[in-house]
Structure 1
Amino acid sequence: MSLAARNAICKAFTPSIQIKRFRGKINIQKPKPPHFERAKYLALAKPWFLPQDTDKKRCGNLKKLDFHKQKEENPFQRILSQELYRWFKTSKLVAFCHYNPMTKDDEYKAYMLLHKEKMHFKKYGKETLEMAVKGTPYEAVLDFYVSHNITIFSPEPEIKKLLKILRRFPQLILLAGIYENKLISKEELVYYSNIPNIQAAQATLVQTLNSAGTQLVSNLNSHQSTLVSHIDQRANQLQKGE
């Protein structure tokens, strides 16, 4: 093979490259409209400025504003506050819990478990609570509503059942409660939960009274029973002697 043919086959071919913009020059005067998504974000991020002649008007309007104007009362909020106050009045046990973030599934499970025990899982804002308990004996509970809180109302003082349910949901942190119209701490609630209920206490009292009465009757009859026993023995002895 000749040298010319060998160079033609083995030698690398390097093409000449000339950089050119696609479809010619950019039209600056009439640019192509951007894509819808890009146009939306451009419109959102577009800066805006107030006209200079409106500064004086704006400052003049500020003098006309009444910053001490009372807030308009919401009728629906007033209805909720009345309902909340009725819950406080009719419930024998009220528990206040701090509400940490939890899934809706866990929240629904907690709601259902409390509902089965005839307890009510309620969420209210601080303004509604303040409207309900302001100037009432329950005003002290406003100190617990600093962040996200829930309130549990129970028509019966089932403290042990309440603590058992709350142990399954660590997102609900028990803070305090109202028991027998008295505000008590979490430790006191735990203490009261270890005390037997009224039915068990009544049964123990009845058993104690019955045992005392039985013991009294036995003590009163013991001398008579002993005397009768001795007379029977003496009679048997006399019969044998004859």
Structure 2
Amino acid sequence: MAALSGGGAPWRRGWLPALHFVRRGSKAVTRHWKAMHFQRQKLMAVTEYLAPRPAVPPRCLTPREQKVEEDNGYARLLRRQVEEVFRDNRMIAICQYNSMPGEDVVLMRHYLRKHNIEVKFVLNEIVRPVLSQSKYKNLLPLFVARNILLVSPELKAKEMLRVLKGVPQINLLGACIDDTILSRQGVENFAKLPSLEVSQGQTVGALALLPSQTSSLLQRGPAHLTALLDEHIRRLQAGETGSPPGTTPPQSSGGH
């Protein structure tokens, strides 16, 4: 009882333990984010590990495993046909093809066939590999969308433009005429040229005119000199006979 009383030594006094409320499962936040010092940032950047670069860039190395695509026989046949088209025709026009009814397509092919112009429907994945390995590789930018070829062994640019004028779904992009690549404007200018026979006749006439003029110039001097000599001889003869110049001297009779 004495221990519970207020008197006595402190260590003898009774005491009650303090009550503490403890929350399980939660921790006090004792750390906050702090920016790294500038000097430490520079040190970390300088001491960062950089992997050595390879001597040969990876894009220059051939892959170890290459997938070999099996060449389709039908694709080879189509590529061979494209090669024959570019080899056997003098005029090859590349056009952009927009969707149109089948009847209009048949009618267009009929009108073009009258002028010996054929329509070839081709695929870009077939044409592009053929052109990339030939002298017509500058035509590759024209084969982007859906295209058709208008081919002819003759130069029928004027007739082709006349037919395409009535078919707005077909847009002419360019052409290759006699191994010469032309734009749309170039094809139109080519169509305005005269035919080969007319051009040959004009060329022959121009070439024949120059020699004729040269011949006339060369003959003019000797002809003028001959006329002067004839006039001089006539005057000399007129002076000997005493007759005025310009008159014929009298002829002597055969009895004297």
TM-score, normalised by the number of residues in structure 2? 0.58
Kept in 1: contact 2:128–2:143 (CA 8 A) = no
Distance in 1 (CA, whole Å) between partners of 2:131 and 2:210 is: 49
Aligned counterpart in structure 1 of residue 169 of structure 2, from 144, 166, 171: 171
Higher RCO (C-alpha under 8 Å, 6+ residues apart): 1
Q: CA deviation at 1:122?
A: 0.4
* Gap regions ≥5 residues in structure 2: 1-65, 236-244, 252-256
Kept in 1: contact 2:86–2:92 (CA 8 A) = yes
Distance in 2 (CA, whole Å) between partners of 1:225 and 1:140 is: 61
RMSD, matched Cα: 2.9
The residue that corresponds to 2:139 in the other structure is 141
Kept in 1: contact 2:90–2:177 (CA 8 A) = yes
Runs of 4+ more than 6 Å apart = none
Larger radius of gyration: 2
The residue that corresponds to 2:16 in the other structure is none
The total of aligned residue pairs comes to: 175
- Structure 2 counterpart SS, 1:239: coil
The residue that corresponds to 1:85 in the other structure is 83
| Residue type of the alignment partner of 2:246 | Q
Q: CA deviation at 1:150?
A: 0.7
- Structure 2 counterpart SS, 1:237: coil
Distance in 1 (CA, whole Å) between partners of 2:112 and 2:75 is: 25
* Gap regions ≥5 residues in structure 1: 1-67
Give yes or no for the alignment of 1:239 onto 2:237. no
Distance in 2 (CA, whole Å) between partners of 1:155 and 1:101 is: 27
Kept in 1: contact 2:98–2:169 (CA 8 A) = yes
Distance in 1 (CA, whole Å) between partners of 2:198 and 2:165 is: 25
What per-residue deviation string (whole Å, max 9, x for no partner) do you get for residues 4-40 of structure 1?
xxxxxxxxxxxxxxxxxxxxxxxxxxxxxxxxxxxxx
The residue that corresponds to 2:120 in the other structure is 122
What per-residue deviation string (whole Å, max 9, x for no partner) do you get for residues 112-162 of structure 1?
222222221100122222343342233343432332211111212332222
Distance in 1 (CA, whole Å) between partners of 2:90 and 2:246 is: 71
Q: CA deviation at 1:207?
A: 0.5
| Residue type of the alignment partner of 1:89 | R
Kept in 2: contact 1:78–1:131 (CA 8 A) = no
Give yes or no for the alignment of 1:196 onto 2:194. yes
Q: CA deviation at 1:164?
A: 1.9
Kept in 2: contact 1:176–1:186 (CA 8 A) = yes
| Residue type of the alignment partner of 1:238 | T
1:131–1:241 CA distance, 2 compared to 1 (3 A): same
The residue that corresponds to 1:206 in the other structure is 204
